[in-house]
């Protein structure tokens, strides 16, 4: 897969990086690379002291910049304008990709998509349902809706309450081969979908590095071992 100007194997292992400040974030970024991550997701919203976050973007390793609001399970409590301003700055600095929530006010969402395209930065347009996994028909409708926005990748993540939810999300992945779709379920019941998605062609696999950024997220070291044993990674 392409992440900005970087080319990564499929499935690409993404280490989700959290920390209270830039020093802690950098330490965990280095750890993720050492453990075999292909890229990292910088969760800026987790930082209590945001001074120095721009230096993290300049670190020479493929990066996704995410600044998740509280309504989407993140920790950013400021205004949408403030939140998006950080993503815009990341684009200007040359980050490989930004994750932008589909729930972002449309003018701000369009601004991000436009600026990213101008700078050859990939965009991940994300939708989260923390309560349930909708029906397959509803999920297919969401794929069609998000596809119209022109993002590089679509990301649909739902909550699994039972094994059938994981099967449904994997069905969504398989039935949309022509769409650059990142999809899986959260929660303990959704762990199998994270592994299944990697087996079925999902381009990106999110993993934890010391802290889970979503329920049911699998540790980077463990996920890499699973994919190695299954012959998906070398």
DSSP summary character for residue 46: G
Beta strands 97-101 and 122-129 are parallel
**Beta-carbon neighbour count of residue 70 at 10 Å?**
11
Q: Are 35 and 68 in contact (CB under 8 A)?
A: no
Distance, CA of 177 to CA of 188 (rounded, Å):
26
- The answer to whether residue 155 is catalytic is yes
Which among 63, 142, 155, 191 is annotated as catalytic? 155
Q: Phi, psi at residue 62, to the nearest 5°?
A: -60, 135
- The answer to whether residue 128 is catalytic is yes
- Residue 17 burial by CB count (10 A; 0-12/13-18/19+): exposed, middle or buried? buried
For residue 22 the two structure tokens come to 């830039």
Decide: helix, strand or coil at residue 184. strand
Distance, CA of 180 to CA of 149 (rounded, Å):
13
Distance, CA of 206 to CA of 214 (rounded, Å):
9
Distance, CA of 64 to CA of 217 (rounded, Å):
17
Distance, CA of 157 to CA of 134 (rounded, Å):
10
Which among 63, 128, 142, 191 is annotated as catalytic? 128
Active-site residues, by number, are 128, 155
């Amino acid at each position: 897969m392409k992440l900005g100007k970087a080319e990564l194997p499929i499935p690409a292992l993404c280490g989700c990086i959290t920390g209270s400040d830039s020093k802690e974030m950098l330490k965990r970024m280095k750890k993720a690379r050492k453990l075999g991550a292909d890229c990292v997701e910088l969760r800026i919203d987790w930082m209590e002291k945001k001074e120095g976050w721009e230096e993290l973007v300049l670190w020479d390793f493929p990066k996704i910049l995410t600044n998740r609001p509280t309504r989407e399970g993140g920790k950013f409590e400021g205004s949408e304008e403030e939140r998006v301003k950080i993503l815009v700055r990341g684009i200007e600095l040359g980050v490989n990709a930004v994750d932008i929530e589909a729930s972002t006010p449309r003018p701000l969402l369009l601004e991000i998509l436009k600026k990213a395209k101008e700078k050859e930065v990939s965009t991940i347009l994300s939708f989260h349902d923390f309560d349930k996994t909708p029906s397959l028909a509803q999920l297919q409708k969401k794929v069609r809706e998000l596809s119209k926005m022109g993002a590089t990748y679509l990301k649909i993540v739902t909550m699994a309450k039972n094994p059938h939810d994981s099967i449904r999300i994997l069905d969504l992945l398989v039935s949309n081969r022509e769409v650059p779709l990142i999809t899986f379920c959260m929660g303990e019941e959704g762990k199998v979908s994270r592994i299944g998605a990697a087996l079925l062609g999902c381009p990106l696999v999110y993993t934890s590095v010391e802290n889970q950024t979503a329920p049911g997220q699998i540790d980077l070291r463990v996920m890499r071992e699973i994919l190695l044993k299954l012959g998906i990674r070398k």
